[in-house]
Chain A
Amino acid sequence: MRRSTVTAVLATFAAMAFAVVPFAAAQKPSIFGIWLGIGRNSPNFQKWKNKPNTPAPEFTAWGAQQSREQGRLGVELPTPGACEPVNPAMFVGGGLFPNQILDGGNQIVLLNEWVAVPRRIYTDGRKHPPAEDLVPTWEGHSIGHWEGDTLVVDTVGLNGRTRPLNGYFANAVNATPESLTVPRLPSSDQMHLVERFRLVGNGDILEVTRTITDPKAYLHRFSNTVYLERRPDLDVEEYYCSDNMRSKDEGH
């Protein structure tokens, strides 16, 4: 009787294991889908707070000069190239425009509604091209691999022409008097970006930690973390920035 009870319990556990494990594996959430930075009105806002740059960025002489110049743009001077693609370090995140992450076979494709070009993260094991073959681009050359549940993306080959890493806030619809005084964070063609994408919060929150190394602009590397929430209810709208350019430096 006792033995049969134990056997029955074991059998039940075994059945549960067989039933549960494959189900859990099948239900393992993926990073693919539509994501939006967590806004103030979201119930997730209090729990998943973006983490600012740590340690605080320290400029080289070149970086400090660039920062000063960029701080004047949009405030004292017209903002140049506001429709140009943003730096990959600010591609993912933000609460105004959704991101879409797609399975592209040998690559993961990142889209953002307000950015004209996609980011292509090659996951087929290739390396970055040799430095002499690397074509400088807005989003650079990205390769990715999985470390457990974390997608690690390595990006080099940037053209150094993007807006600051924290944007031209003066050109943003949600600009405030305070935001206009925040030092701009420039970047150069020597920037090296490492991003770590990981699902947290039952798979409906995407954590992206970004580590920036740019010896031309900064004395040391620094990192920040942004959180996005899964938003299958949203459509990614068309955003052709030059549709109605009433002011030549618009677009954000």
Chain B
Amino acid sequence: MTRVFRASAAAALLLSGSAASAHHSFAMFDLGKNVTVEAVVKEVQFTNPHVWLQILVADGKGGQTEWSIESGARGMMLRNGWKPTTLKPGDKVTLTMHPLKDGSPGGSLVSVKVPDGRTLGSGAAN
């Protein structure tokens, strides 16, 4: 699965920063597909209406691609075990997402194994 992403990584790199605004709703994610990546956290935007995780994924060519992972609302996250400091820049994580249908480097969060060992979701399933 990760290989699929690597194929589009070069193009995605050029789109960095615009991918997030290119989609219009959760229908733009492939809701029937789960993809898991190993990543390094670049930035956490602990905001509303959604929390965003900016992560770096190896592109298979010695470089990294930045992915934008959309998650739940901040309140949903807090009620499901998240804190603003649960993930910090530099943390290594295993993250599962519904990928963007158009192949851009982004997805909606399904779950992520955080450094303290817990696996947390977006707060959408309770």
List chain A positions with a Cβ less than 8 A from chain B. Answer: 39-42, 74-75, 77-79, 82-83, 95-98, 113-114, 168, 170-177, 180, 234, 236-241, 243-252
Q: Are B26 and A172 within 8 A (Cβ)?
A: yes
A70 to B37, CA, bound (A): 35
User: Whose C-beta in chain A lies nearest to the C-beta of B76?
Assistant: A96
Chain B stretch 21-46: residues in CB contact (< 8 A) with chain A:
21, 23-27, 31-32, 45
Given A74-B24, A177-B31 in contact, is the A250-B75 Cβ separation under 8 Å?
no
Given A39-B126, A97-B73, A97-B75 in contact, is the A240-B48 Cβ separation under 8 Å?
yes
Q: Which one of B8-16, B87-95, B117-125 is at the A interface?
A: B117-125
List chain B positions with a Cβ less than 8 A from chain A. Answer: 20-21, 23-27, 31-32, 45, 47-50, 52, 68, 70-76, 78-79, 108, 122-126
Given A234-B79, A241-B49, A250-B49 in contact, is the A173-B31 Cβ separation under 8 Å?
no
User: Whose C-beta in chain B lies nearest to the C-beta of A174?
Assistant: B124
Contacts of B68 in A (CB 8 A): 246
Given A96-B73, A171-B25, A171-B26 in contact, is the A239-B48 Cβ separation under 8 Å?
yes
Given A75-B27, A168-B25 in contact, is the A244-B75 Cβ separation under 8 Å?
no
Q: Are A170 and B125 within 8 A (Cβ)?
A: no
Q: Are B124 and A74 within 8 A (Cβ)?
A: no
Contacts of A83 in B (CB 8 A): 49
User: Whose C-beta in chain A lies nearest to the C-beta of B68?
Assistant: A246
Which DSSP category, helix, strand, loop or mixed, fits chain A's interface?
loop
Given A75-B25, A239-B74 in contact, is the A173-B124 Cβ separation under 8 Å?
yes
Q: Are A239 and B25 within 8 A (Cβ)?
A: no
Given A79-B25, A247-B20, A249-B25 in contact, is the A174-B50 Cβ separation under 8 Å?
no
A171 to B47, CA, bound (A): 17
Given A79-B24, A173-B26, A173-B108 in contact, is the A251-B123 Cβ separation under 8 Å?
no
Apart from A95-B126, A172-B124, list 18 A-B contacts with CB within 8 A. A41-B126, A42-B126, A96-B126, A97-B75, A113-B75, A168-B25, A171-B26, A173-B26, A173-B71, A174-B125, A176-B31, A239-B73, A244-B49, A244-B52, A246-B52, A247-B20, A247-B25, A251-B48
User: Whose C-beta in chain B lies nearest to the C-beta of A97?
Assistant: B75
Contacts of B72 in A (CB 8 A): 96, 173
A176 to B33, CA, bound (A): 11
A83 to B50, CA, bound (A): 12
User: Whose C-beta in chain B lies nearest to the C-beta of A171?
Assistant: B25
Q: Are B78 and A237 within 8 A (Cβ)?
A: yes
Contacts of B74 in A (CB 8 A): 237-239
